[in-house]
A and B are shown apart, each in its own frame.
Chain A
């Protein structure tokens, strides 16, 4: 399976390597760099590169490349690595190394459940490092996590909290493509329920919805009992400890999706002159009485655009002349006064005008609303005596929301 792993930062330095089988020299990565150079954009590096002896599989996360080297046929394995920045990894090289050691044996994934890893190698905290330096103990667990052996590998044994809490965040994202005239080409809702569970002992929870039929396609955390969902449409599970993603679901595109905002735009470039006009206005639409917040508009302007001279009625804008990305941070929409952004575009003189207008990517957030209408009915707990504190939060966000102009 995975032979070696190289971590490469965006400037092309290999700053961590790990070999599971025999040592592969760093020079394999040259093939990777070659491909990287060929591709103009970081996003465009092909995920699979074949070299005379090895195959390189690269994964791009948070400005880091994880390049793994393999030699033989593998079914594609997708690793999850959480959020990690280069600095964080550099600071904790040893811990990362220990983690990798536990996670993969001979290149075959061994334990990827974060709860278990946390118990094997305890995450460093300031408090613990103080304690360690006094007592001289280590932060490597010396017993096998019990979860690894039991039927519920995702939960640690002996969890204790003074405040027992269970929070659920229902987050829905609208993916949409809206065409020039404002008609919806494609729209669908992708939702997730993230849970933050801090409950002592072995609680057995069951979560039921007011309208479970809405969920079209669901994927579950392994803790969920599939049979109960099939028969009763109830999520019954013994939760892992801490934060995790309970389910993710899709509300079918066949249903009509209410698009909460509309955009009026007019972008034009004049033929044979080095200027163009740019004007966009955003307004709320079917927002169900909730305010729309956190609106940002990003536009990838064509390459010929030199600079932009705009005035927003609300919020602030930035234009990066190198990447040609225009970002307009709008904030809240107040229906009385619709935010707009107007101004001139400076083009490279002499260059032909771009034949296509750039598309607008819009981000927004609506608190306390699940756009699909999904509602959590109740949460019951069995197996433990105490009364937990429960809470559900709904958020609707824009996912891949694109307006073509």
Chain B
């Protein structure tokens, strides 16, 4: 049927084959026939073939290779789902020959536009790694790149890959730590679990312990404070309030909402995170959530109870309020019952013991005998732990001795034995009672325990003891080995204390023991005989026989079996099994001194790599020299930004108002750590005082500048003295990238001051703009790095067909606002809008628009919302949530998304208040319908080559030569259109790239400077209408002086 022409027949055949696989039957002989269908157009057949391939490719490697080319083609498919599934299957067929192909595919996919494909790339990394661990270095590079990804979809998978491939490379996390913390809530559930586990380990290595001094941290305390920037602290070494690292706090705060997750695994992960890294006072909140989990399935209950058991040993108070939740139901499975008992025991204290004992009484009567026995043990443990109730327990246990069930009686005997041992008081009555029981009990452990007890206390029960021995001698041969040993012991002890009555009996028993089948018993017999029966050979030892046998025995400690589990990380498999499972990562102890917190400061992305070496270079002499060199430049830029920061500070305010508390703290922290690390620098000390008066934006700028200078210094130092190439352990390719990016930075430094202004903002916003779509202008030099990186990676590529296009962040965001509703026509309600140039959160195809509403009346305006929409076909609006009321003189900024369908048509809608409706419309400037794109020059040229003829429009511009400096052109172009800069090899050609928001078609812009004062402006795009409109708009802008 597979040969059939009809899809339906093929499908039917494939379904049968997959059915066979599922049942575990071998279907491998069909391999060739199936592989032929891999190129099928029908997506369902394709999927089933994939299933088949994954199952059998390993066995038939040669034939599997036939299908590889199909996958390679599918990897270029415009449909992201097909790309992703091709990658998934390609990486799942475990054929070692195709490792290089897989490597390539992963690299390409990791730069894919679709986060879904990138997610699959992250998965593929693990698979490739397990297939061929030699690829580790290359894979780490890809992981590093993917870790920077902002998509929540990717985050979970890449952390998973990180854990699998290189869990020890904690340095890769530094940069992304804050981002991960902030994204955590939005990541899908399974990703959350992995990330939380990783962050727990991270936190344990990077932060100092928040636990109080009683945890044995006194000696570390001093060190810790020394490492802090505040030198004053050292003078008075009295107890200081512990100050938690803000990043540590961030993690704890961000995971808190996840305790309310519906996914048990997430709750468990957060619980272990709190347990391991949060201050003891805060860990309390986890108990509530864990108790909630007890309602779910038995498997979940089992795991959770185990973890609670471990926790309850260390911290009783945590679960005490929930004591009753651990009461046992008769329908619980035995393992759950025993775990609950365990917890109840751990929680027992003087206050609640009476209720607990009453509860235990019910349990003892349970039909489940195993459970009843466990309860008896529990009672024993309670009795030892809480001295007040020991007697009560003991009496209760003695009552149980008359129980009809053997297991219960046996268990009570064992427990009583242990209890009596701890109490040197007279308990003759009980012992006598037990001696009587010896006739009826058959369980060996119990019999042995009774014998031992009698032997130990034989002086207190002189009448019974020899009698018991007599009985036992009679039945010796039929006893269990355990009992035999105890009989021997008893005989020896009696012989020593009461040799008159028992001499013959002992002789008899020893003789029996001598010919026993078990060698242990024979050995013991021989040993005892030598020791106690005096003869000429054994001299010295027999004198001490009495001491040896009747020594005071230390009472056993009844301990929880969960006592030793606490060294395993909670919530892990190892913890559950109480053995070390493969791949278990030890949770390290708290570091004594906090590692430099500044490593987590998120710098401008391109500088990420250089930061660590830069930090080190600071302390070195050559670096200082360079600082002084760059000081001038810095000072000047400083002053310039001061004078020209109108727009910057304006936007700063706006940004602040929309920022929430978490952002605040992180930006605060930026400045803190910045000042910390530079404590030694006089220059910064001077500046520190300045900073206090300045707004956040300047803070960010300072950071930026710092890294820049250190960066340039670094570049120079490495060029001058290459031998002392710092302490970088990066590969050559990386350093190449570095130097390239340094070049770019230097170029950027030369750019105009205006350019600097928006640039200054990025620090405080960088890690926030993911969840803060309404953020203020952000200018990121990302495009400067990514292309070079991509170009670099492309060099490694074997195939040249790929073109890597990824959306980057806007270079510049103009603050130009447009009037939506004038206050005169809006009866006091004024509305302005502007384009924040952020990817829209409401949909991929939407342009985000920010609307600022002002109330200029002296009354409240209530219920502002969007009413009727009059949109051209295809256009969509995602409206903002209605605003309940706007105070007089108040203003509020909301964001909405509009899908303009790549046209400049007007979106008309009604802006309504409680009483009125106003017709308003938004017409987008063509430049706002674009999203900037980062690409390399090579890609640019290739794409340009494909977009010629009809798709090309060009014009000539004439203007004064001073308008043709690179910075002026850049400024003018980005002002008009939201495009990304493409690094250019030639001075006279400037290239920009973007894609349209709705359809994602490329928009390539070239400004070529010619002789004299002319220049040619070329636009290549499929969307010729937009292209020509953009050309018309750009031309006058570039022409004017």
Whether the pair B55, A404 counts as a contact (CB closer than 8 A) is no
Within 2-25 of A, Cβ neighbours of B (below 8 Å) are at: 14-23
Query: B617 interface residue, CB < 8 Å from A?
Result: no
Whether the pair A23, B58 counts as a contact (CB closer than 8 A) is yes
- Assembled-state Cα–Cα distance A26/B120 (Å): 29
Residues of chain A within 8 A (CB-CB) of B573 are 48, 55, 70, 73-76
Residues of chain B within 8 A (CB-CB) of A113 are 188
Indicate whether A186 sits within 8 Å of B324 (C-beta atoms), given known contacts A136-B8, A245-B262.
yes
Within 62-82 of B, Cβ neighbours of A (below 8 Å) are at: 79-82
- Assembled-state Cα–Cα distance A6/B478 (Å): 47
Among the 9-residue stretches A272-280, A310-318, A351-359, the one with 4 or more Cβ atoms under 8 Å from chain B is: A351-359
Whether the pair A253, B24 counts as a contact (CB closer than 8 A) is no
Query: B185 interface residue, CB < 8 Å from A?
Result: yes
Indicate whether A219 sits within 8 Å of B260 (C-beta atoms), given known contacts A44-B335, A50-B577.
yes
Whether the pair A358, B367 counts as a contact (CB closer than 8 A) is yes
Within 81-101 of A, Cβ neighbours of B (below 8 Å) are at: 93-94, 96-98, 101
Q: Provide the A216-259 mask, 1 if CB < 8 A to any CB of B, else 0.
A: 11111110001000000000000000000100101001000000
Select B331's contact among A98, A222, A400, beta carbons within 8 Å.
A400
Residues of chain A within 8 A (CB-CB) of B84 are 144
Whether the pair B574, A73 counts as a contact (CB closer than 8 A) is yes
Whether the pair B43, A142 counts as a contact (CB closer than 8 A) is yes
- Assembled-state Cα–Cα distance A253/B94 (Å): 54
Query: A209 interface residue, CB < 8 Å from B?
Result: no
Q: Provide the A111-144 mask, 1 if CB < 8 A to any CB of B, else 0.
A: 1110000000000000000000100101111111
Indicate whether A303 sits within 8 Å of B367 (C-beta atoms), given known contacts A177-B329, A188-B325, A218-B260.
yes
Residues of chain A within 8 A (CB-CB) of B325 are 186, 188, 253
Nearest opposing residue in chain B for A120, CB measure? B81
Whether the pair B262, A22 counts as a contact (CB closer than 8 A) is no
Query: B622 interface residue, CB < 8 Å from A?
Result: no
Whether the pair B367, A76 counts as a contact (CB closer than 8 A) is no
Chain B contact-residue range equals: 35 or more
How many A-B contacts are there with CB distance less than 8 Å? 241
Nearest opposing residue in chain B for A76, CB measure? B303
Select B298's contact among A60, A97, A109, A354, beta carbons within 8 Å.
A60
Count, chain A residues at interface, CB 8 A: 97
- Assembled-state Cα–Cα distance A354/B365 (Å): 9
Residues of chain B within 8 A (CB-CB) of A352 are 404
Indicate whether A110 sits within 8 Å of B123 (C-beta atoms), given known contacts A18-B22, A177-B329, A217-B288.
yes
- Assembled-state Cα–Cα distance A245/B708 (Å): 52
Whether the pair B262, A248 counts as a contact (CB closer than 8 A) is yes
* Smallest beta-carbon distance B807→chain A, Å: 13
Query: A149 interface residue, CB < 8 Å from B?
Result: yes
Residues of chain A within 8 A (CB-CB) of B160 are 108
Query: A320 interface residue, CB < 8 Å from B?
Result: no
- Assembled-state Cα–Cα distance A46/B334 (Å): 10
* Smallest beta-carbon distance B125→chain A, Å: 10
* Smallest beta-carbon distance B102→chain A, Å: 13
Whether the pair B22, A97 counts as a contact (CB closer than 8 A) is yes
Whether the pair A138, B299 counts as a contact (CB closer than 8 A) is no
Query: A214 interface residue, CB < 8 Å from B?
Result: no
* Smallest beta-carbon distance A241→chain B, Å: 17
- Assembled-state Cα–Cα distance A101/B88 (Å): 10
Indicate the member of A76, A149, A222 with the most B CB atoms within 10 Å: A76
Whether the pair A112, B186 counts as a contact (CB closer than 8 A) is no
Q: Provide the A15-48 mask, 1 if CB < 8 A to any CB of B, else 0.
A: 1111111110010000000000000010110111
* Smallest beta-carbon distance A139→chain B, Å: 7
Among the 9-residue stretches B812-820, B876-884, B980-988, the one with 4 or more Cβ atoms under 8 Å from chain A is: B876-884
Whether the pair B289, A217 counts as a contact (CB closer than 8 A) is yes
Within 29-77 of B, Cβ neighbours of A (below 8 Å) are at: 42-44, 47-48, 50-51, 55, 58
Among the 9-residue stretches B190-198, B455-463, B1019-1027, the one with 4 or more Cβ atoms under 8 Å from chain A is: B190-198
- Assembled-state Cα–Cα distance A15/B572 (Å): 30
- Assembled-state Cα–Cα distance A373/B325 (Å): 22
Nearest opposing residue in chain A for B303, CB measure? A76
Q: Provide the B373-401 mask, 1 if CB < 8 A to any CB of A, else 0.
A: 00000000000000000000000000000
Residues of chain B within 8 A (CB-CB) of A268 are none
Whether the pair A22, B58 counts as a contact (CB closer than 8 A) is yes
Residues of chain A within 8 A (CB-CB) of B81 are 141-144
Query: B140 interface residue, CB < 8 Å from A?
Result: no
Query: A383 interface residue, CB < 8 Å from B?
Result: yes
Nearest opposing residue in chain B for A224, CB measure? B260
Whether the pair A26, B24 counts as a contact (CB closer than 8 A) is yes
Query: B2 interface residue, CB < 8 Å from A?
Result: no
Residues of chain B within 8 A (CB-CB) of A219 are 260-262, 267, 289, 292
- Assembled-state Cα–Cα distance A108/B125 (Å): 12
Within 777-831 of B, Cβ neighbours of A (below 8 Å) are at: none
Residues of chain A within 8 A (CB-CB) of B878 are 202
Q: Provide the B176-193 mask, 1 if CB < 8 A to any CB of A, else 0.
A: 000000000110111001
* Smallest beta-carbon distance B576→chain A, Å: 5
Select A59's contact among B8, B43, B185, B299, beta carbons within 8 Å.
B299
Indicate whether A50 sits within 8 Å of B579 (C-beta atoms), given known contacts A76-B571, A76-B573, A149-B153.
yes
Query: B15 interface residue, CB < 8 Å from A?
Result: yes
Query: B403 interface residue, CB < 8 Å from A?
Result: yes
Query: B442 interface residue, CB < 8 Å from A?
Result: no
9 contacts between A and B (CB under 8 A): A17-B22, A21-B127, A47-B303, A78-B265, A110-B190, A136-B8, A303-B367, A356-B365, A404-B362
